[in-house]
Structure 1
């Protein structure tokens, strides 16, 4: 007989799913069988409820960034993708290995990603491994705990550049991975400045154009 588990905690959505077979929690194989009304992410084997549908300002900011990336990346080998797209993260020991679906316990859906390694785009269902650049646009529902989870997660998986966009304050915090595979103190870009990318050399975007609604 199959055992079922109902999850209802402060940080998690309420769902009724078959108990995980893996001792490390739920896996991508489990994730593929679910059909939830709400968007979720899988972080280290646990189900996380995502924020409600993005607000209009959130979507406009996302489109503004996407448009700038699209123009800059035209004719270049890197690819930009946007949510919803599944990104499978494998953790430090397995970053460069090919894992089965039932071995992957972290699947996230960042707002915008840039992937330069074409091998990571061979699976039509998902991105297999860490993007080179991740952009997360915060919503009012995002908590400090959630933000810290994502920062640690992207650092562990060696996302080279991580942008955190704060629409309320019109700020963008840019984290760059250093030689020790740790994020340096963020560079904070504010209204009236130009944001630069270390990974996408030559990219420069006026922040006022990002926050233009």
Structure 2
């Protein structure tokens, strides 16, 4: 049987694992990584300028809207740990860095980031990471109880919203420029996609 070296390696390798948050803390890497169900994923190179403009636009709107409210918005890089059975570092096997997340329970926030499911997660698709966002992260966000998961496709100028109902995600219709999208979990927050996608011009 091949030796499991998840507790002895100083950097991730595809043939070892599963990896935990304890491993993640020990790695000394130049690039950023995420762990999803014990499997590590290298983050893409620095996001493109358009990606950053869209992220900043949405985060700014959320920040302004949430002033004076209990919820807080954070942008990547920001570690979100999604435990399954235990809160121990060596037993947490998913650590992600969503582009944007909103946390409404202050008990989930600590100096390391967020421990537990945010209410809202927003991911902005970039070339090369679509499978990770659309498949792997979809699964862990649903299983962890993220109430809303927004996926934005800048090149196509579209947005899809997944809302958690009875522990399963229910997809919205495909939103496009000209639509206004209301959050189901951040009451009163509406994102104007026409204004958002004007950032691309």
Q: TM-score scaled by structure 1? A: 0.84
Measured in 1, the distance between the counterparts of 2:132 and 2:115 equals: 25
* Count of residue pairs brought into register by the alignment: 192
SS in 2 for 1:169: coil
Is this contact kept in 1: 2:125–2:133, CA < 8 A? no
Matched with 1:210 is 196
Measured in 2, the distance between the counterparts of 1:133 and 1:44 equals: 20
> Alpha carbon RMSD of aligned pairs, Å?
1.9
Is this contact kept in 1: 2:76–2:97, CA < 8 A? yes
Distance 1:82 1:145, change over 3 A: closer
Matched with 1:41 is 34
Q: How far has the Cα of 1:167 moved from its partner?
A: 0.1
| Alignment match of 2:142 (pick from 155, 161, 164) | 155
Q: How far has the Cα of 1:187 moved from its partner?
A: 3.3
Instruction: Deviation per CA, 1:167-212: give whole Å up to 9, x if none.
Output: 011111010000x200012332110111111111111121022222
Distance 1:56 1:6, change over 3 A: closer
Measured in 1, the distance between the counterparts of 2:66 and 2:159 equals: 21
Matched with 2:93 is 105
Matched with 1:61 is 54
| Alignment match of 2:44 (pick from 32, 40, 51) | 51
Distance 1:144 1:27, change over 3 A: closer
SS in 2 for 1:110: coil
| Alignment match of 1:185 (pick from 168, 171, 177) | 171
After TM superposition, which residue ranges in structure 1, 4 or more long, deviate above 6 angstroms? none
Measured in 2, the distance between the counterparts of 1:119 and 1:64 equals: 27
| Alignment match of 1:79 (pick from 72, 80, 92) | 72
Measured in 2, the distance between the counterparts of 1:117 and 1:143 equals: 29
Measured in 2, the distance between the counterparts of 1:160 and 1:80 equals: 15
| Alignment match of 2:24 (pick from 20, 31, 49) | 31
Structure 2: gaps spanning 5 or more residues: none
SS in 2 for 1:211: helix
| Alignment match of 2:154 (pick from 164, 167, 170) | 167
Structure 1: gaps spanning 5 or more residues: 10-18
